Structure 1
């Protein structure tokens, strides 16, 4: 039972990365899309590019243009949720819509999840891929039957921003084993420390009021044993095994 509890605790640290992104998806020769899920802001962004003189659209959460999906987005006028099949009540916001040298780039944003069950729910921890269906006219603003179509499944890769620092970067915990005080130094500020015993029971919580990156923890009140220290900042968690002797 102890080993199972510890394993569950260790596995629970996944899902605290900053963001997940797909690669830039080449839908066809002149149309691309890229999705990013942001754990800190609870937003998903979509950057869609295509020719500015042709309509092109993207359906989310479906692999067929005949099956109801989350939304269709047109690069000629950014129509949100007005084409069948689709959910007509969408929550995408247009962040930017620019044309350069005949190419249109649109950035859209919405919340990862919401209360509308007809919307595609993109929970950060469990969303690892997304089905999309795309269509594009074969000539400038052609009627609907004159289209190129396709579908695919895109996978997300966990990423950290260029300037982001992970909680695990150059972390120091010493001395280990310890019998009195444990010193913790991190590259990011800490907000809370939870201490669990070997059965998974929470034995102590320490709130870091000043969000310091250097913390001294008194452990002389803990019985001699191994403990799991759960270190938290605003967006991440990490676990460290400490022996109190």
Structure 2
């Protein structure tokens, strides 16, 4: 019984705290240029979606707050005279996934690994990268006179993306009434095959197995002492937990 008491809180932390990806908001540098970063823990990749117009140079310094401090660099240039284009990725770390033009607006999707073995390169470990400094510039040519309103720096902040797999079962379950003194009704969009009830300290109270994979069941709590209980709900592939108060 002690093992249940110690393991149950750990399970709650791991289930509720797990996330596969996190992204910045779309960062608008000016009317012509935006960027969005996404870190994917499952694939160990960072994706950058960069937008801009066709007739301007687009330069992005990633992981730096100043053009004089080293960081990843991505440069997209356009020769205004003949409308030819090319990209420059000096360190060869970013791979171009797509490069599309719609209504005079270019969208480039780039990808690189979060980390590598070269400590001189920018490292973007998933667990510790919560923000990223960026410097940017937009110009009609490689030479721009100061002061230039089309250049600057900013810090983009990452927020967690809760995937469908992370939250679907938990959010699909509704338990009511809560608090209750007699019975609770459990409704879910997916079928439930087993319900296990634990006390607040983690002691096993009751197990209900004869559910026949129903998505709507009721559980009698008559006879249980007043207090907080943890309902462990299980379907064919997942488990989730809900708190129920008996009064």
Q: TM-score range by the shorter chain?
A: 0.5 to 0.7
- Maintained 8 Å contact 1:58/1:133: yes
Give the aligned length.
216
Match of 2:101? 99
CA RMSD of aligned residues (A): 5.1
* TM-score of the pair, normalised by structure 1: 0.59
> Which blocks of at least 5 consecutive residues in structure 1 are unaligned?
83-87, 177-182, 204-211, 215-225
Correspondence 1:74 to 2:75: yes
Residues 209-239 of structure 1 deviation map (CA, whole Å, 9 limit, x = unaligned): xxx997xxxxxxxxxxx98677799xx9854
Counterpart mapping for 1:16-35 below 5 A: 16-17=18-19, 19-35=21-37
C-alpha distance in 2, partners of 1:94/1:13?
Answer: 34
Instruction: Give, in whole Å, the separation in 2 of the partners of 1:228 and 1:42.
Output: 35
User: Aligned match of 2:59 in 24, 38, 57?
Assistant: 57
Asked if 1:120 corresponds to 2:101, the answer is no
Q: Partners in 2 of 1:50 and 1:41 — Cα distance? A: 27
Deviations 1:90-112 (A, max 9, x none): 1x22111122343221011233x
Distance 1:8 1:161 in 2: 21
In structure 2, relative to structure 1, the CA distance for the partners of 1:52 and 1:119 (3 Å cut) is same
By percentage of residues, which structure has more strand? 2
| Distance in 2 of aligned mates of 1:44 and 1:213 | 41
Q: Provide the C-alpha distance between the structure 2 equivalents of 1:74 and 1:232, rounded to a whole number of angstroms.
A: 51
Q: CA deviation at 1:186?
A: 5.3
- Tell me if structure 2 keeps the 8 A contact 1:166–1:187: no
Question: What SS does the aligned partner of 2:73 have?
Answer: coil
More helix by share: 2
- CA deviations on 1:117-163 (whole Å, 9 max, x unpaired) are 3232240x443322111122x324x3377764311111223335699
